[in-house]
Structures are given as structure tokens and as C-alpha cells.
Structure 1
């Protein structure tokens, strides 16, 4: 069945899914146990899902963090869901014929599939006082005419993992690693958002779907060997490379991911990449201007409980290190903190 068929049916909740292997752990439970009949999963590249959310064609979806910045008045975040990485991410690459510092006034082709990666690159280069010429378009590893006339190319997703770009370009930069070098923080590539108008009218449905995501993600964590094997077979990736890739990805949205996200948004505004400051709002914080204490059912309580436990563990780790009084981000001790959190977080 065409995945876009019946997406205007008011009885169907339209839920986006990024068409890359990186979201497989989040959707594992939904796809293996069977998606509830009232949920229609729509798989598309990130940029397409961004546009569908903007146009009201889907109700809940992973969206690029850059898209959220431009739609923060209309969208709210679902708790404890993101695609993040602290350091090397492997699937977001700048490949270049020249070293980074030599890209001034040179032309860079940006993938048209992700707004976050493009804005992240623009921000990092702006911080480094490097101002190239940007062009956006489709990038296909097997069609050299799409990229061979450019000095550098930003590639993302499955194409970055399988394109053999190190054999085509002299310099390969992992944007997750560049972000870590500049900020000492993780980068949040995508978040899960709900349209505020939909959430106000369907708060219990959104709570239920958030619960489905939380359980699905937990099942994904418990079945990573199966997920890695499927991804390896699908993309013909070396199993060890596939394992390394998934080990670098984080799917929560805790305190330090939020610090990275806020740093990104502050930078976008300061460098005039977005026109206004970004305000973060979470479902189910506000519904029609009122606190949702009376609307929080078992699913919401379950989700928020897990989210607060994660934050409390992070605070405990800070106390144990004697660092709770220091301002964040804690760039010098971040690797040690991250190690503690990965051991203890849900």
C-alpha cells in the first residue's frame, strides 16, 4: 500500500519515520510488534518530513533540529527522544578537495535531505570565519555529475555510510566531531515534534503515542544485535562498522543533549541564520495555556518518570564528581560525565 494513501483520513494519526537506518532502534517495537491500526507510519527523508509537518500533512514526526528552530511557535517536543551524538557520528560528512581552512569563497554542495546538517556546517564555518559559497541539491554517490564540479560536498545518512567518499575526496570531516571540538557538547541532529494544534485537540492520543515510542525504543535497545544485522545486510555494511555506528548514536533528550541543542540555537540566532531566538516547549507541559496535571494519564506519568530519573542520575554524577556548583557546559570534564551517564541512563 502506498504509504501516503489515506493520510488525510481523520481517524488515522499520521506519524513520520526518517527513512534511514539511524532511527531503527526507536521504531523497532512499533514495526516488530505491529503498528496500532490508528497509526500510519510515513517514511521519508528528513527534509520531506519537515515540509509535511509544516504543511499539516503529518501530526507527529522526527524533524531536523534546524526545522524545529524555524517552527518552534507551531511545534512542541516529545520528551526524551532525539538523534544525537557526542563526537564522531559517521553519517554526516563534509568531504572536500581542500582543507577546511581553505574553503573560503569555494563552492560547497549541501545535501537537500537535511536542514540540521546544513545549518550546523554553516554555523561551524561562520564561527571559524570561513565563508564559502553554498548550493543545495540531490547527492548520489553513483552519479558523479551531481558533485564532481564542487570543491566540497555535505553528505548525510545512508549515503554517507556507503558512498566510499574517502576514495573520492582528499579530506573527510565528520561534523559531529567538528561540533565536539568547538563546543565540547553533543549535537542533536533530530527531535520528535508534535504540531501544537493537533496536541491541543488530541492530548490523550499524543500521550499514548509518546508511550508507544518509549516502549518501542526500549525494545530496540534490547534487540540491538538484530537491528545491527538487518542494517548491515540492507546497506552491505561491515558488521563491525555497523556496530560502531549505532554505538555512537544516542536517542534520549536529557540535560546535556538540551545544552547542545540550546547552544546550536543560540549560535544560529547570533549568526543570523535564523531570524529569532528559539523557545523550546515540551508536550505535555501546556495544553491550551494550562498545566496538564489533570490530563496526565499512566502513559505520561511513565514517560515523565523515566525522563526525571535520567536527569536525577545526571545530577548525582555531578555531585559525586564535586562539580554541581560549576556552570555548564563543562567542557573539560564532559567525556568523564558522558561515560557515567551512558552507564546509568535508561
Structure 2
């Protein structure tokens, strides 16, 4: 039986997957499915995806059904560099305005709601749309884009357009890192796939470590062939990201979930469960 592995198809997740021995994992029955976060969130909730990257908000929605793989995430201590609110007016003037939200994400759209409604006490109208900057701003005052869509938009941004990095805003108000995506596994899969999950987990950790050791050089070279951009841009971008899941990351996640609960976006998350090769999983 195949183990279906979800792979977020954005460069910000790539360090965890870049050096995976896919031939070996394929021989073990691992099948990789690259999709945007929203698609992977839905596929895992339906049991189509067994393990892999999902939005951290989606984990909060299925906290009793999923377990997180430890020490793996897509996070940022401050600026994330690829999750932006692009606005025609300063953020302090968005009260009563209309904002278009990307359909690609769960974490970022809810993070923006927390930022605007809780941190800035603003009442705005949201519309979910396909991630197209020009279309989103035809009838809206601002738009939220994530991942490579946000990066490509940033490069061509008009000088009079305001931009706000959601990771930086989160840090300014909370002094905690923000975790956008986690590596999770369905609990029903864990019961029968602990060995293959362990091999896959070791591969993720090894890939992350190798990327850090060579300063992301090989990976950046590969990315530039597809997306262009200067070497220095991509070096700065990955230096600003973090792919760990420390106690501070978990503290930030709990705060994010609490703020989402206060706004009625999410049911209360009491316990985050982390997988362990020794005791299957533990809660913190």
C-alpha cells in the first residue's frame, strides 16, 4: 500500500524536500503529490494524503486527527518575505475597506484577520479569490498573496503600492515566531506506518540540515532556473525563514490558535501532539 506524501509546491517548503532520496522512498512505496497548501489541506482531511506539509491552521482544525512531525515547519522569526498584504492605502486606513484573500492558503488568511481585527481593531470585508494581483485589486482596496505568487508580485510592484509582511507584524505585536505550515500525519496512518513515517522524517531532517550546511546554494541555483531573481535575494529570503519547530514556535502556535478561537475562526486547541519515533507521539 502506498504512503501518499503531500508536498507544498512553494519554494519556502523546498529545504525539507530538496535532498530527499526520492528513488529510495518511491521503492518503499512513498508517492509524492505537489500542490498548494489549500489543496493539500483538503486532501489530507479527506484521507487522500497520508502525511506531509499542510497549513498550520488546518492542523488546528484537525488537531484530534493529526500528529505533527517534530522539528519541521515553515516559520519565520520575524519577516517571512513571501506573505504580503498589498494595499492601495496605508494599513491604518483599511477600516471599512474591501480586501481580496488568496484561495491558496488557510494560515495566512486567518493570520491577516487576526492582525486587522485584533491588533488594529478594524472592520473590513473579505473576498476569497484566485491569486491574481491585478484581478484582485480591480474592485478591492488590498489583497493578500502568499508563497511564490507574493514573491513574483513583489518584484514588479509599483512604487506607490503599500506592502506589509505578515510575519513582521505578528512579531511586532507578539514577540514570537509565526509558523505557517507544519509536517503532519493522519493518526490512522501512524498506527500502521510508523516505520515508513520514521524513514521519511529522517529524510526531511537530513534535507533541512544539508541545505543549511551549504547555505542553500544548490537549491537556490535550481530555483533561479525557474523563477529568476538574484542569488542575494534568495539567500536573504531563506536566511529569513526557519524550518524548525522549537518550544518558542509551539508557544507562537498556541497563541495563534487562541487568537483565532477568540474571533470564532477555530475551535479551542488544547493540545498539540508531536510524533516520536520512540513513543509514537507525545503532547505539549
TM-score, length-scaled by structure 1: 0.76
Structure 1 residues without counterparts, runs of 5 or longer: 1-10, 286-291, 297-303, 305-346
Q: Does 1:103 align with 2:94?
A: yes
Contact 1:228 1:239 in 2 (8 A): yes
Which residue of structure 2 lines up, in the alignment, with residue 77 of structure 1?
Answer: 68
Q: What is the aligned-residue RMSD (CA, Å)?
A: 2.0
Which residue of structure 2 lines up, in the alignment, with residue 167 of structure 1?
Answer: 158
| Larger relative contact order (CA 8 Å, sep ≥ 6) | 2
Q: Does 1:56 align with 2:47?
A: yes
Q: Does 1:131 align with 2:123?
A: yes
Which residue of structure 1 lines up, in the alignment, with residue 192 of structure 2?
Answer: 201
Which residue of structure 2 lines up, in the alignment, with residue 299 of structure 1?
Answer: none
Alpha-carbon distance in 2 for matches of 1:23, 1:120: 19
Higher strand share: 2
Alpha-carbon distance in 2 for matches of 1:246, 1:258: 21
Which residue of structure 2 lines up, in the alignment, with residue 289 of structure 1?
Answer: none
Q: Does 1:16 align with 2:6?
A: yes
Task: Please say which structure displays the higher CA radius of gyration.
Answer: 1
Structure 2 residues without counterparts, runs of 5 or longer: none
Which residue of structure 2 lines up, in the alignment, with residue 117 of structure 1?
Answer: 108
The verdict on how the C-alpha distance between 1:166 and 1:31 changes in structure 2, with shifts beyond 3 A counting, is farther
Residue 139 of structure 2 aligns to a residue whose secondary structure is: coil
Q: Does 1:277 align with 2:251?
A: no
The partner residue of 2:146 within 124, 147, 156 is: 156
Residue 167 of structure 1 aligns to a residue whose secondary structure is: coil
Alpha-carbon distance in 2 for matches of 1:24, 1:31: 14
Residue 95 of structure 1 aligns to a residue whose secondary structure is: strand
Which region of structure 1 is more displaced relative to structure 2, 58-67 or 199-208? 199-208
The verdict on how the C-alpha distance between 1:156 and 1:168 changes in structure 2, with shifts beyond 3 A counting, is farther
Residue 30 of structure 1 aligns to a residue whose secondary structure is: coil
The verdict on how the C-alpha distance between 1:169 and 1:35 changes in structure 2, with shifts beyond 3 A counting, is farther
Q: CA deviation at 1:36?
A: 3.5
Which residue of structure 2 lines up, in the alignment, with residue 3 of structure 1?
Answer: none
Residue 73 of structure 2 aligns to a residue whose secondary structure is: strand
TM superposition outliers: structure 1 runs of 4+ over 6 Å:
none
The partner residue of 1:86 within 52, 63, 77 is: 77
Q: Deviation string for 1:176-209 (max 9, x for gaps)?
A: 1110111011100101100011111222222222
Residue 128 of structure 2 aligns to a residue whose secondary structure is: strand
Which region of structure 1 is more displaced relative to structure 2, 181-190 or 257-266? 257-266
Alpha-carbon distance in 2 for matches of 1:93, 1:33: 36
Q: CA deviation at 1:31?
A: 5.3
Which residue of structure 1 lines up, in the alignment, with residue 38 of structure 2?
Answer: 47
Which residue of structure 2 lines up, in the alignment, with residue 246 of structure 1?
Answer: 238
Residue 50 of structure 1 aligns to a residue whose secondary structure is: helix
Contact 1:95 1:173 in 2 (8 A): yes
Q: Deviation string for 1:309-341 (max 9, x for gaps)?
A: xxxxxxxxxxxxxxxxxxxxxxxxxxxxxxxxx
TM-score, length-scaled by structure 2: 0.92
